[in-house]
Amino acid sequence: MIRIRRDPATRLPTRLEAGPPSRTAIRGVRPGDADDLLELRVRNRDFLAPWDPLRPASFFTRAGQAEWIALQQRAWADDRGYGFAVLDVEEADRVVGGINLFNIVRSARQSAGMGYWIDEAAGSRGHATAAVRLASAFAFEHLGLHRLEPAVMPRNARSNRVMEKAGFRREGLAVRYLRIAGVWEDHSLYALTAEDFAAQRDGQTAARR
């Protein structure tokens, strides 16, 4: 059962928690996260570099993180994207990563991309899979989206496993799809629809009865 905390003005959730046995929650990023995100980004710079676009040196400063948070909050207000901090609830909501819904398209498409990252030191605790499931619940149950479309480099074995565990379907390969670490890289294209998500959710609920 997902635990939700809402913004009283918009009624959109600002925090979603998976609940036991998971130790993961996601919360909309806020200005007070700048120091935590900076520490994580600097410490994980080499770890994340093979999977990230090239970033300017200014990104790895407090001002750079504050600017990134401000961009996320503006996107949230405009329904263009939704950025979350990933939290470890067993460590007093310590920030251990981030997950984003981006490139939101409305009208007939009702879709979004998804990307995430997790602190290397917090790996192998289920945070990535839980965060993807929580962000999917936000997208389908609260934004009314119909389709999520993450893209993962084929050699990123961990992220491919996360997609599979979270119920995403691999639909194909996009050649030279995104410029990562300065190189145009092929990406496996994954998708999850609202119908897929509802079937998984209902199946999990029935299994708990």
Domain of 78: which CATH number? Answer: 3.40.630.30
Q: Report, as ranges of residue numbers, the positions in the chain whose pLDDT lies below 70.
A: 204-209
In the prediction, which pLDDT does 209 show?
44
Q: What are phi and psi of 40, to 5 degrees?
A: -65, -45
Distance CA 111, CA 21 (A): 30
Type of residue numbered 148: L
Question: 150 by DSSP, 3-state: which?
Answer: coil
In the prediction, which pLDDT does 1 show?
74
Query: Number of structural domains, the chain?
Result: 1
Q: Domain of 22?
A: 3-208
Strand partners, 17: 3, 25
Burial 130-151, CB ≥16 within 10 A → b, else e: bbbbbbbbbbbbbbebbbbbbb
In the prediction, which pLDDT does 205 show?
54
| 208: Cβ contacts below 8 Å, ≥ 6 apart | none
Run of H or E residues at 116: strand 111-118
